[in-house]
Amino acid sequence: MKLLYLTFTFLMIGSFALQSQNIYYTREARIFFYSEAPLEDIEAHNNRGSSVIDFDNCEIESSVLIRGFMFEKSLMQEHFNENYMESHKYPRATFKGTFVNCEEITIESDGTYPFIVEGELEMREITGDVIAEGKIVVENGQISGTAEFTVKVADFNIRIPALVRDNIAREIDVRIEADYKKLDR
């Protein structure tokens, strides 16, 4: 599985134009999700997301293995993988997007640059439009980024059993944090 994960990361990098000089990547993006529900809040994290940004073409691609999400309660993690996400059938979620305001991000200068990304999230073999807001921070040549968006459970055909339907939120808040490295060729 680790080989598959690394192969996918390099395919993402390879999908960007070879002439681009400003490609940054990470294999340690941190993805958090949170769902506020009447009975119990649900939250999980995954520290093994892959992400590649091509600043020359204003594109971003990201990927995460669903089984990598960790929950405080093991039973919650089991239900998430087996019942809701069916991670044995749909092992990965991917995002491909474009920075709307790319010209406002200057990676050569220290600063904090707000951004908007529009793209497509694919999860459970269903593709949905996503708009995420975030910021790129450039400090001493190091680039980090954060982004937030909301996912509607119904948009990705995630079925919630009637018995627990009132205990699980219909929308999930997602937050991503990543420290990027320049791709040296």
What's this model's pTM, rounded to 2 decimal places? 0.84
Give me the chain's average pLDDT, please.
88
Instruction: Express each pLDDT in 93-122 by its tens digit.
Output: 999 999 999 999 999 999 999 999 999 999
Long-range CB contacts (within 8 A, 24+) of 96-101:
96/59, 96/60, 96/61, 96/120, 97/59, 97/60, 97/61, 97/130, 97/132, 98/58, 98/59, 98/60, 99/58, 99/59, 99/60
Instruction: Express each pLDDT in 126-150 by its tens digit.
Output: 999 999 999 999 999 999 999 999 9
Instruction: Express each pLDDT in 29-71 by its tens digit.
Output: 999 999 887 777 889 999 999 999 999 999 999 999 999 999 9
Confidence of residue 14 (pLDDT cuts 50, 70, 90): low
CATH of 2-182, one of 2.40.128.110, 1.20.1250.20, 2.40.50.100, 3.20.20.10: 2.40.128.110
* 4 pLDDT more than 60: no
Domain boundaries, the chain: 2-182
